Amino acid sequence: MIAKLQDKVALITGSGRGIGKALALKLASEGAKVVVNDLDPVSANDVVAQIMDTGGDAVAYVGSVTADNFAENFMAAAIGAFGAPDILVNNAGYTWDSMIHKATDEQFDAMYDIHLKAPFKLNRAFVNAVMLSAKAEASEGREVFRKIINISSIAGEYGNVGQVNYSSMKAALGGMTKTLSKELGCHKINVNSVAFGFIETRLTEATNDKKTIKVDGREIGVGIPEKVHAGFAQMVPLGRGGTAEEAANGIYLFCIPESDYISGQTLIVGGGLRM
């Protein structure tokens, strides 16, 4: 049986760990050639090694999606390694929470840069990278579908206390997704979004210790107090938070040929959770 994504070229931002890593391994298992991106070269190269060890093909591209010229360089790296891209997943991100009366401009701008401006630049670079091929295929009467998946959150669908910056960007990303689905449909580029609920990652792990990660020179707090974590889990109709692999499976649905006639949609992967 031929793999569903045999020889497709997939670019996944933030894929050195968590949901992005799970997706990279999933797409590679279905035959995709994967460009793994992360801020941490060790994490990115580890995912590449895991893919190669199982007979897949992957390369690492280390860097921040908010850096100047990242999008164009990311596309160039993919083309240099494997050829024109077929799938782009805008997955990289983090949260920097605060109630509105304490929120700073820096917090708002940081969420704008990574959750809205970076996907805009990456989507534009992806389209520019495939446009000539798409036009040639159309002139020949062939339908070759390509995929953009923007990663969102139920916070963007329903709002969430303490996340005015993050929620705003994810809500705006929904508008971008719908607009691009209309602009790019004639070029057979499907544009969809996946909005996650309570997924178990390092950002949401249960901990009473103060933990941080370093992003663009900033120390950002991660983790949720154990009592709060347990409360979130109880809110999920399916009774628990989702795993990274379960989250990745939701994205996978929009990557495969079975979704070729689906565009402009937001799929909520949250175990039934509504905030």
Half-sphere exposure of 157 (CA within 13 A, CB side): 18
Answer whether 61's CB lies under 8 Å from 35's CB: yes
Nearest Cα residue to 18 out of 256, 236, 260, 222:
222
- Look at the alpha carbons of 186, 177, 28, 214 in this order and tell me if their dihedral is positive or negative: positive
Catalytic residue from among 94, 166, 252, 261:
166
Nearest Cα residue to 71 out of 36, 127, 122:
122
At 42, which amino acid appears? V
Answer whether 192's CB lies under 8 Å from 262's CB: yes
CA-to-CA distance for 136 and 153, rounded, in angstroms?
Answer: 36
- Look at the alpha carbons of 24, 28, 29, 31 in this order and tell me if their dihedral is positive or negative: positive
Q: In what order do the strands lie in the sheet with 57-62?
A: 57-62, 33-38, 9-12, 87-90, 146-153, 189-196, 266-269
Cross-strand partners of 155: none
Active site residue 261: no
CA-to-CA distance for 164 and 58, rounded, in angstroms?
Answer: 37
Beta strands in 127-272 (DSSP E): 146-153, 189-196, 211-215, 218-222, 266-269
Question: Known catalytic residues?
Answer: 166
